Amino acid sequence: MTQATTITDDSGAVENALYIGIDLGTSRSSVVSAGGIRKTLESYVGWPKDAVSLKKFDGRDIIYGKEAVDNRLSLDLYRPLAKGVIKSEGDQDRNLEAARELIARLVEMTEPGRGESLFGVIGVPSEASITNKQAILDVAKGTLDSVMIVTEPFCVAYGMDRISDVLVVDIGAGTTDLCRMHGTVPGPDDQTTLDIAGDDVDARLLELIKTTYPDASVNLTMVKKIKEKFGFVHTAKDKIEVEFPVDGKPTPHDVTDLVRQACTILVDPIVEAIHKLIATFDPEFQAQLRQNIILSGGGGLMDGLNKAIEDKLDRVGGASVTVVEEPMYAGANGALKLAIDMPADYWQQLK
């Protein structure tokens, strides 16, 4: 790695450094920089299959994000992250390469200047193992001069300056991560990760559609788009009607109740995890924690999810559940704030 000359201002920040916050997600990743750039990229990397594919992409040998998904028939497509960490099954070397390219692309999107040191904080699931964290560190080090790994819900809380008496529920595609904050760096007992998340909603919705409409032609990519556009768990405002091919003919289908059923699978596991984190907290401060539950991540955008969780928690003492102002960027914003707040000598030690 190249070492840049370090100059600090009065606040201790490194003047010739670009601070970057990354929320590395299974399905979608977000990056923000101290330079004011905010970008989101679907977590897919693809390589053209042959010379014809390469010509189609004007000679570009790696395709990223939505463009890769939309052109997946022409690509060897990889979604290198599963449950928020680098996949170990299948072609592990290719997944590692895809993860490395994904992080490099996210950093490139921040438009770093020539000669800048790149200091980044990357958010990962709460219970990611040391091995998983090390794998992400290893693939990031080729792009970032210094990198720190932090849990995603901690990033959300830190970015909101809510570091005490708050419980964050970060709902991604691969995992749902919970973390209670009490004015210190959270320990293992303060955090938990659920394996049920957005991908499971997609799988359930696909199953329901195929069962209800066996003649319809539908795949997981189509279902994911429906969930992201219409997902809800509480009350339906309007009928949700979408077109699926039936014998090659576009045909409207009512999926209102199917979408609700699929999205609702998140509620009970999240409520149980919240209740456990509250019940094992210092009894004097449980009431404050109950009134400060925050949803973030893509799943937090589901209409009525916070209300559905509140209704279930009424049975065990009640709670107030709100949605963070920017669910898609809350983790990356917090990672950036943490990066900026870290002392310059700390970053130099990491290098």
All structural domains of the chain with their residue ranges: 44-78, 162-195+266-323, 198-264
Look at 127-131, 197-201, 274-278, 316-320 and tell me which has the smallest mean pLDDT.
127-131
The lowest-confidence range among 15-19, 222-226, 292-296 is 15-19
- Supply φ then ψ for residue 229, to 5 degrees: -85, -40
Whether 81 contacts 43, CB under 8 Å: yes
What pLDDT sits at residue 13? 53
Instruction: Please write the tens of the pLDDT for every residue from 246-291.
Output: 999 999 999 999 999 999 999 999 999 999 999 999 999 999 999 9
- Residue 235 burial (10 A CB sphere; 0-12, 13-18, 19+): exposed
Report residue 240's pLDDT band, with 50, 70 and 90 as the boundaries: very high
Say whether pLDDT at 9 is over 50. Answer: no
- pLDDT value at position 300? 81
Please check the confidence at residue 302 and state whether its pLDDT lies above 70: yes
Please give the pLDDT value at position 184: 87
Higher-pLDDT residue of 215, 297: 215
What digits encode the pLDDT tens for the residues 142-169?
899 999 999 899 999 999 999 899 999 9
CA distance 174 to 200: 8
CA distance 51 to 35: 38
Cα 192-197-199 angle, rounded to 5 deg = 145
Contacts 24+ apart (CB under 8 A), 30-33: 30/328, 30/329, 30/331, 30/332, 31/106, 31/107, 31/109, 31/110, 31/332, 32/110, 32/329, 32/332, 32/333, 32/335, 32/336, 33/110, 33/111, 33/112, 33/336
Residue 83: the pLDDT is 77
Q: pLDDT-based confidence at 1, cuts 50/70/90? A: very low
Rounded Cα gap, residues 248 and 78, in angstroms: 28
Domain over 198-264 is classified CATH 3.30.420.40 = yes
Q: Which residues pair with 117 in a beta bridge?
A: 17
Which is nearest to 181 in space by CA: 201, 202, 167?
Answer: 167
Q: Is 4 exposed, middle or buried (0-12, 13-18, 19+ CB in 10 A)?
A: middle
Name the average pLDDT for the chain: 90
User: Would you state the pLDDT for residue 234?
Assistant: 82
Give the residue with greater pLDDT, 5 vs 335.
335
* Averaged pLDDT for residues 292-321: 92
Asked if pLDDT for residue 3 goes beyond 50, the answer is no
Measured CA to CA, the distance from residue 224 to residue 258 in angstroms comes to 13
pLDDT tens-digit profile of 53-103? 999 999 999 999 999 999 999 999 999 998 778 887 767 889 999 999 999
- Under the banding of pLDDT at 50, 70 and 90, the label for residue 7 is very low
pLDDT on residue 345: 80
Structure tokens of 72? 């997946």
Q: How far apart (Å, rounded) are the C-alpha atoms in residues 146 and 119?
A: 5
Walk across the sheet containing 164-171 and list its strands: 191-194, 176-182, 164-171, 293-296, 321-323
Model pLDDT, residue 222: 96
Pairing label, strands 45-48, 176-182: unpaired
Q: Are 289 and 281 in contact (CB under 8 A)?
A: yes
Report the residue count for the chain. 351
The yes-or-no verdict on residue 241 having pLDDT over 80 is yes
> What is the per-residue pLDDT across 113-137, written as a single tens digit (0 to 9) for each?
988 899 999 998 877 778 888 899 9
162-195+266-323 and 198-264: identical CATH topology: yes
Tell me what pLDDT residue 214 has: 97
The CATH number that domain 162-195+266-323 falls under is 3.30.420.40
Confidence of residue 15 (pLDDT cuts 50, 70, 90): low
User: What's the pLDDT score for residue 14?
Assistant: 58
Q: Look at residue 10 and tell me whether its pLDDT is greater than 50.
A: no
